[in-house]
Amino acid sequence: MAARLLRFLAPALALASLASADTSKSQLPNNGFPNLEPSQLLEIEIKADGVLPTSPPPPRLSNSTLQTFQVIAINEQWEVAFFNTLLNNILNNEPGYESWDDEAQKAREKIVQVILKQEELHALNARGILQNFKAFVPDPCRYNFPPGDIRSAFKFAQTFTALVVGALGDASQGAAANGDIQVPRALSSVIGEESEQQGYYRTVLGQVPTEKPFVTFGLGIYLFSWLNNVATIPDSCSYDVYGLGIPIIPQLYADGSATGLDVEPKNQTIKFSADLSKAPAAKPYIGHGGTGLYVTYLNGAQKPVSLPIVNVHWHGEEIVFEAFFPFEEYIMFGHTFAALTIGNDFNVLTDANKLIENTLAAPAFINVYDFF
């Protein structure tokens, strides 16, 4: 009984550890962000090694694309808070963030500061687009950061940045489909910067800096759901997150983790869990053996791989199950995003909505590293 209880408590314990970071301190820079005077903006741009885009905005944007920029603003503000907290930990030599090598420490401070300032500009750019079109601009919330040391912070940054890069690709395709053809070029600039960050984190962690020949497709809905389910302290936003009209999918956990499960580069079985009480489409499956349910893996630019779930156990509306992770057949290095889905035939390039509509819980992160 104790073992079974621990198994079902694992997701809650993982979330509790994420929330154990000190949230009593200010998480945002003390420069007035996000409401800045011109002199404060100039200081950010100088430290970011560049300025906000100066091209005029398009004459119109669809409502769907404006929702996309709301998600981008929410994410970028979370990133600002994360990197500001990380920089303060480094500057203050907090336990686990200190270094005996002064030159290495100064380099780390410089790099993280530049990343922080570039993220501030990303957030300000998204907010400016929303303000230009008189759309609702979400303000920063309070956030959960996992405790740990500098290496775990970089590993965490690597994982959520992979999700961001994939989601920005999804946003680009969605904007183009909506006729907002200027947006993909603008977002590709941000994708490039985020990918450069990834190369740095991977190098620091002893990994080959280029993750895959084609980085993993992502979905904006998965990013938005993860931000609300995991990264944001409940009820800490000044607005109703559900009022944005963007679905929030229940979180899927890989072996109890919502922030990244590191596995060996081999075929294996992985344990997953989710609370499906807020997934109406799950009701016909609750209490049954899992027939018709799959884990769908997104890895690289290949067609999603879906495998049936097995060893299903229900506790009310909470499900625990296993699924095979076919590393060898698909060479699944890098970051894999996993989802619990109804059905097994999806194509993100041609019909991402089909995958979204059939997702019961997501995303779980599975990481396979190639070390040098």
Residues 341/293, Cβ–Cβ less than 8 Å = yes
Phi/psi for 7 (5° steps) reads: -65, -40
33: left (phi over 0), alpha (psi -120 to 50) or beta: beta
Buried-exposed string 288-300: b where 16+ CB fall within 10 A, e elsewhere: eebeebbbbbbbb
Share of the chain above pLDDT 70, in %: 93
pLDDT at site 25: 65
pLDDT at site 148: 87
pLDDT above 90: residue 309: yes
Average pLDDT over residues 164-187: 97
Q: How confident is the model at residue 24 (pLDDT cuts 50, 70, 90)?
A: low
pLDDT at site 3: 36
Look over the chain and give the mean of its residue pLDDT values, rounded to a whole number.
93
pLDDT above 70: residue 10: no
pLDDT at site 146: 85
Average pLDDT over residues 217-230: 98
Please name every residue paired with 336 in a beta bridge, in sequence order, or none if there are none: 366
Counting other chains too, the contacts that 200-208 makes at CB distance below 8 Å and 24 or more residues apart are: 200/111, 201/154, 201/155, 201/157, 201/158, 201/161, 202/158, 204/151, 204/154, 205/151, 205/154, 205/155, 205/158, 205/369, 206/371, 206/372, 207/369, 207/370, 207/371, 207/372, 208/370, 208/371, 208/372
Buried-exposed string 35-70: b where 16+ CB fall within 10 A, e elsewhere: eeeeeebeebbebbeeeeeeeeebeebeeebbbbbb
Residues 344/371, Cβ–Cβ less than 8 Å = no
pLDDT at site 101: 87
pLDDT above 80: residue 11: no
Sign of torsion over alpha carbons 162, 164, 169, 174: positive
Ordered structural domains, the chain, with CATH: 22-244 (1.20.1260.10), 252-368 (2.60.40)
Q: How confident is the model at residue 110 (pLDDT cuts 50, 70, 90)?
A: very high
Residues 102/109, Cβ–Cβ less than 8 Å = no
pLDDT at site 22: 52
Average pLDDT over residues 226-249: 97
Residues 258/251, Cβ–Cβ less than 8 Å = yes
Which of 99-113, 157-171, 217-231, 296-310 is least confident? 99-113
Give the C-alpha separation, 290 to 297, whole Å.
17
Q: What is the pLDDT of residues 328-372, one digit of tens each?
A: 999 999 999 999 999 999 999 899 999 999 999 999 999 999 999
pLDDT at site 17: 36
pLDDT at site 200: 98
Share of the chain above pLDDT 90, in %: 90
Q: What is the pLDDT of residues 261-300, one digit of tens each?
A: 999 999 999 999 999 999 999 999 999 999 999 999 999 9
